[in-house]
Amino acid sequence: MTRLLGNTKLKPRKKADLKVVQKPNIKTTKYSDINLNAWRDYSHVITNSLWLFPARLKEHGHSNDYHGNYIPQIAQQMYERYTKKGDVVLDMFFGSGTSGIEAVNMNRRCVGVELKQELVDSVSQKFNSKQLVTDVNIICGDSASSETVEKVKARLEILGEEKAQFLMLHPPYDDIIRFSDKKEDLSNCESTEQFYDLFEKVAKNGYDLLEEGRFACLIIGDSYKNSEVQPLGFECMDRMRKIGFKLKSTIVKDIQGNERAKGKTANLWRYRALAGGFSIFNHEYIFVFQK
């Protein structure tokens, strides 16, 4: 029997998939199913620090119906390299559900935290009733709060886990896009410094909910405010190191072709760049950490 996600048929996860199979010709790490004895077979797994994708993936349950979500290819790369089948991904900024959709596609599981109830209700429609029990758990809550931490722990317990095996963080890029009118929303912070402080609280909660030795991914870009660049990426990266994460990779990803309606205003931004002495952002950062 197959499972459905949108118009895509997904193979059911078998119990055998959840076990680590040790064979003489298979060599894996504790956090990945990649067979290091057959490493030449994984040419699709990117190991360099410059990622170029010609377009956003819009199939296998994904769509570009929500402004501000990250592209599915990032989840595909992260999951294959840093998780095993059956592992639980914790996404503290669940949004339109990219992390959960790709978890189902790749036989992983996901617990997502989203601040807006209406978005939780909408995203839940992307999964069937069985998947919402066994594969994807969506929590409406403030990722910076202790109450949400307890809710996540309860969901992990239902899934048979004490901690998550991977952490995904894709916060708002300060106030570039206002996602709601809620004061808990990071896009509504009164200052960039307050944004950093609130992000650090979320990252600390994620750290505490992550298994020792497992990995985390931060996706973020910089902003331009008050006539100067605000280095959101490097400051948030530094806050995560302050918490205790070890930085493993700094990846630069080209965002051209992945944004909605960017081309319509390209000429205006070019004029502003020439007049203001700055450069137009064509990139964002992907930071990989290990606990």
Sign of the torsion formed by the C-alpha atoms of 264, 270, 272 and 273? positive
Domains of the chain, residue spans:
3-290
Q: Which amino acid is at 192?
A: T
Nearest-angstrom CA–CA distance, 103 and 133: 14
Task: Count Cα neighbours of 129 within 13 Å in the Cβ-side half-sphere.
Answer: 0
Q: What DSSP letter does each residue of the chain carry, written as one string? A: --EEETTEEEPPPPGGGGS----TT----TT----GGGGGG-TTS--SSEE--SS----TT----STTPPPHHHHHHHHHHH--TT-EEEESS-TT-HHHHHHHHTT-EEEEEES-HHHHHHHHTTS-TTHHHHTEEEEES-TTSHHHHHHHHHHHHHTT-SSEEEEEE----TTSS---S-TTSGGG-SSHHHHHHHHHHHHHHHHHTEEEEEEEEEEE--EEETTEEE-HHHHHHHHHHHHTPEEEEEEEEE-TTTSSSGGGGHHHHHHHHHHHT-----EEEEEEEE-
CB atoms within 10 A of CB 141: 19
Question: Per-10-residue mean pLDDT for the chain, 291 residues long?
Answer: 39 44 80 96 97 72 61 96 98 94 97 94 93 94 97 96 98 75 78 94 98 98 86 96 98 74 65 87 94 98
Domain 3-290 matching CATH 3.40.50.150: the answer reads: yes
Nearest-angstrom CA–CA distance, 108 and 88: 6
Sign of the torsion formed by the C-alpha atoms of 124, 126, 132 and 135? negative
User: Long-range pairs for 36-44 at CB < 8 Å and ≥24 separation?
Assistant: 42/80
What is the predicted pLDDT for the residue at 243?
A: 97
Nearest-angstrom CA–CA distance, 136 and 155: 10
What is the predicted pLDDT for the residue at 257?
A: 52
Q: Are the C-beta atoms of 222 and 229 separated by less than 8 Å?
A: yes
pLDDT tens readout for residues 127-175: 999 999 999 999 999 999 999 999 999 999 999 999 999 999 999 887 6
What is the predicted pLDDT for the residue at 183?
A: 77
CB atoms within 10 A of CB 80: 18
What is the predicted pLDDT for the residue at 266?
A: 67
Q: Are the C-beta atoms of 268 and 238 separated by less than 8 Å?
A: no
